[in-house]
Structure 1
Amino acid sequence: MKHLRLISIFICMGILFLGFSTKYFEVDAELTNTASASKTGKDPLTIELESFSQEHHIPAVDAKVDRVWKAIPGYNGLEVDIEASHKIMKANGKMDKSKVVYKETSPAVHLEDLGPHPIFKGNPDKPMVAFLINVAWGNEFIPEILDVLKENKTKVSFFFDGSWVRNNPDLAKMIFKDGHEIGNHAYSHPDLQRKSEVETSEELKRTNDIISKTLGIESPKWFGPPSGSFNQQTVEVASQLGMHTVLWTVDTVDWKKPATSVMVNRVVTQVENGSMILMHPTKPVAEGIGAMITQITEQGYRLGTVSELMSEKRVIIKKDGPVPPLSQ
């Protein structure tokens, strides 16, 4: 019994010491912050916010020319907005992580700084994917594809063949009216590797002119070479006309008429940050685009246009459940 009493006494003393120590260290931390504040002229809350900012800073990623993927856009960084956070917390003067305000920081090098290079994908740090739909035929499947995109609140980038726009102005207007991005796909689906600079320029200019006239918009920002046929001359001509040349990361190969489930599975298993997925208005795409949207968002990616993918703006991803499209 005597031993049990001694043990109880020691336990009580330990608990008291622990409580005292914890309180001591809390007070010591406050004194340290106060001392730092007196030296720097900053209040303790500002010092805490600055320390928190250093621990949670995400640096911006510069645009670059990759050996394999060519031009890669930059991606904004993230840091604590100390002034805005301080204004929210100054009422009680205490640090509250749930009230921290963040702001994006811009890269030092931008896509426009790289010069004329083809683009195959977005920034690999950006959890986002874009659909590229090249249109030169397949009119019968366009309404169904548009219905699925509307139902899923998803915006994509359509690349128009100029002669197709001339012959199908109402369909072109329908696509544009639904809020999708419009790109240039040359005028007559040429093999641009075999075209001269003058011929290439004429193909792209005629397409921009018919798109602008039909839809009442400025010239497209993005150019998609027909059949992926291009060379450096093609890229430079597009650049002179104010357009970036974009290709793709993942190909549906829908023109080969694969089984829809096979096509969907092949695409969604290849998707990664920054992927651009090429497709056409075909039966497999009309049947499978809804499944692709669902499965890609369930993997944690946002879907959007080429402009949204190439933007340096950060994408915030939910931790639970499917990710809504960026255009929602």
Structure 2
Amino acid sequence: MAERKRRLWVTVFVAGAMALLLQYQPIHQYISFVKNDQVVTAEKILDEKERLRAQIEQWKEGREEAPVDAVVDQTWKAIPGYNGRVVDVEASVEKMLAAGVTGPEMLVYKEVPPAVSLDQLGAQPIYRGNPKKPTISFMINVAWGNEYLDSMLDTLDKHKVKTTFFLDGSWVKRYPEEAKKIAARGHEIGNHAYSHPDMSTLGTQRIHQEISRTQDVISKTLGIKPALFAPPSGSFNKQVVQIAHASYQMKTIMWTADTVDWKKPSPSFVIKKISGLMGNGVLVLMHPTAASEASLDQLLTIAKQKGLHPVTVSEVLSSRRLP
């Protein structure tokens, strides 16, 4: 019994000593202790770390990626950048030692931001995210169609997806409880002007009025200040984009793929069209209509099958990498 207690005490001591050795670096003194007649030293631990560092340098090959700068494309206008990634060697060493497991799957990465960000591009319309980021957004513009909202919200919940709803200001004024329902589900809220005008035909004062009135009613109703603006019917000009950017710190959002659901197409038409256009960084335009309500579930399923992550517009535009 005494011998068993002695061995148990030695085991506990060894474990504690090893934890201390791994926690405090660098180790300047030669420390040793005995476990089952084997000597474990600080020098051996350091040797093991050096061996792991050398191995990690080999595992790094082909796994690191350079960041991608945001650019203004002739066709797609402002395209956000995408963070690169490098292996954090020391963090990887510590993780492997602590877990007692080595291998490339244990590597720890850190992100490297691009030299040029989306914000540095200034006032530009945005039609898509970066083609290297495997995200997609099924964004929903709301100025009518209350009868389909609950079903679409339930479908998004079923897939555990948060998306972006661009709300018409006058709609929020008329249906504050519907607007609160969308926000309460955790979805991002954007500005869709106040009275659904053709923004490209408006003067400066009216442009300000359409955007600011919507900002005000959303702020008062939901306690949210939108950072994204979607022009009704996708109609805008350079002045609209500049005012949204300079006066309201808002990005002007367009789309990559249009369901054209306001034309009352069949759900099968919408599914076939949009599934063929799905890809990294795609922004899909929808409304709370019968066609989009009936196709949303299958579109979300197809997107996931293609390896895409349905997220908010802001997440598509972010340079952050997915976990």
TM range (shorter): 0.7 to 0.9
Aligned to 1:223: 229
Match of 1:296 among 293, 303, 308: 303
Aligned to 2:271: 264
Find the aligned partners of 1:93 and 1:268 in 2 and give their Cα distance.
Answer: 44
Question: Secondary structure, in 3 states, of the residue corresponding to 1:129?
Answer: strand
Question: For the structure 1 residues 216 and 95, does the alpha-carbon distance in structure 2 shift closer, same or farther, using more than 3 Å as the test?
Answer: closer
Matched AA of 1:167: R
* Pair 1:172 & 2:179 matched: yes
Measure how far apart 1:301 and its partner are. Answer: 0.6
TM-score normalised by length of structure 1 = 0.80
1:166-315 equivalent positions in 2, closer than 5 A: 166-217=173-224, 219-240=225-246, 241-315=248-322
Aligned to 2:30: none
Find the aligned partners of 1:152 and 1:310 in 2 and give their Cα distance.
Answer: 21
Query: Does the 8 Å CA contact 1:45/1:93 hold for their aligned counterparts?
Result: no
Matched AA of 2:127: F
Aligned to 2:134: 127
Q: Which whole-Å deviations, capped at 9, do the CAs of 1:209-245 have from their partners, x for residues lacking one?
A: 000000012x101000000000110000110211000
Match of 2:161 among 141, 146, 154: 154
Find the aligned partners of 2:122 and 2:81 in 1 and give their Cα distance.
Answer: 14
Measure how far apart 1:98 and its partner are. Answer: 3.0
Query: Does the 8 Å CA contact 1:185/1:225 hold for their aligned counterparts?
Result: yes
* Pair 1:98 & 2:105 matched: yes
Find the aligned partners of 1:81 and 1:233 in 2 and give their Cα distance.
Answer: 45
Measure how far apart 1:52 and its partner are. Answer: 3.1
Query: Does the 8 Å CA contact 2:70/2:81 hold for their aligned counterparts?
Result: yes
Matched AA of 1:164: W
Query: Does the 8 Å CA contact 2:56/2:104 hold for their aligned counterparts?
Result: no
Aligned to 2:75: 68
Find the aligned partners of 1:48 and 1:254 in 2 and give their Cα distance.
Answer: 54
Matched AA of 1:52: W
Measure how far apart 1:104 and its partner are. Answer: 1.5
Q: Which whole-Å deviations, capped at 9, do the CAs of 1:123-155 have from their partners, x for residues lacking one?
A: 000111001111111111111111111111111
Alignment length, in residue pairs? Answer: 276
Measure how far apart 1:74 and its partner are. Answer: 0.8
TM-score normalised by length of structure 2 = 0.81
* Pair 1:78 & 2:85 matched: yes
Question: Secondary structure, in 3 states, of the residue corresponding to 2:161?
Answer: coil
Find the aligned partners of 2:99 and 2:175 in 1 and give their Cα distance.
Answer: 64
Measure how far apart 1:92 and its partner are. Answer: 11
Measure how far apart 1:258 and its partner are. Answer: 0.5
Q: Which whole-Å deviations, capped at 9, do the CAs of 1:136-175 have from their partners, x for residues lacking one?
A: 1111111111111111111110000100000000100001
Q: Which whole-Å deviations, capped at 9, do the CAs of 1:160-195 have from their partners, x for residues lacking one?
A: 010000000010000110111100000010111110
Find the aligned partners of 1:243 and 1:274 in 2 and give their Cα distance.
Answer: 19
Matched AA of 1:236: Q
Matched AA of 1:117: Q
Q: Which whole-Å deviations, capped at 9, do the CAs of 1:106-126 have from their partners, x for residues lacking one?
A: 111111111000000000001
Alignment gaps of 5+ in structure 1: 1-36, 317-328
Measure how far apart 1:54 and its partner are. Answer: 4.6
Kindly report the root-mean-square deviation, in angstroms, between the aligned alpha carbons of the 2 structures: 1.9
Question: For the structure 1 residues 259 and 47, does the alpha-carbon distance in structure 2 shift closer, same or farther, using more than 3 Å as the test?
Answer: same
